[in-house]
Amino acid sequence: MIERILPAAVAAVEATDDPPDAVLLPAEVAVVAKAVDKRKREFTTVRHCARQALARLGRPPAPILPGERGAPQWPHGIVGSMTHCAGYRAAVLALDSEIVTVGIDAEPHVPLPDGVLDAVSDPDERRAIAAMAAAHPDTHWDKLLFAAKESVYKAWFPLTHKWLGFEDAHVRFASDGTFTARLLVPGPVVAGAALEGFSGRWLVEDGIVVAAIAITT
């Protein structure tokens, strides 16, 4: 599913369950040694997906350990992003010679809990998604907004190693499956120019909403 909204240079692997052959490498085991079973399963499966993506890029298996702010530490020369939610796990990886950064997020396609929308959006965003909901009522635009902002953060962080709040990017959707995110804080320099925002794509399928951003070199 998610490969349809990413460039061909990105290796994408997803799972809708936790396969029994998904195992952790020794360095990863300690990270979730005290975690509950649900956390262990999603942690294991998403890394199983990441190693399959590494293989597609011609790279050997490697431990994927959480680093600064929990962001995955990828092998040298690799950029990537991972996501997991109920019923879905995915990892997307690429060579840094082809992709500058990538960010993905998946969420169950259900409305946000009460009060969350106000916390993750500004009034203009809320008016825009209300208009989208009136025109396209089958999509939970509030959850899509949340997923898009999560993908923005995941694309932003490897470039800056700085926090980006929900209020620091203004997202606007189009009904053709694309979105734009305008940064409201100074962006990193990419290819010699300050990045002012991101362009991404979204998809709703099988009860899951996914959002993805990838910047090519």
Q: Residue 67 has what pLDDT?
A: 94
Predicted TM-score (pTM) of this structure = 0.96
Please write down the HEC assignment for all residues of 94-155: EECCCEEEEEEEEEECCCCCCCHHHHHCCHHHHHHHHHHHHHCCCCCHHHHHHHHHHHHHHH
For the segment 108-135, what is each residue's pLDDT rounded down to a tens digit? 999 999 999 999 999 999 999 999 999 9
* Band (152; pLDDT cuts 50, 70, 90): very high
| HSE toward the beta carbon, residue 163, CA cutoff 13 A | 4
CATH code of 105-216, in short, is 3.90.470
For the segment 5-56, what is each residue's pLDDT rounded down to a tens digit? 999 999 999 999 999 999 999 999 999 999 999 999 999 999 999 999 999 9
Query: Do strands 208-216 and 88-95 pair parallel, antiparallel, or not at all (unpaired)?
Result: unpaired
* Average pLDDT along the chain: 97
Alpha-carbon span 207 to 217, nearest angstrom: 33
Domain spans of the chain, in order of start: 2-98, 105-216
Per CATH, which fold does 2-98 belong to? Answer: Ribosomal Protein L22; Chain A (3.90.470)
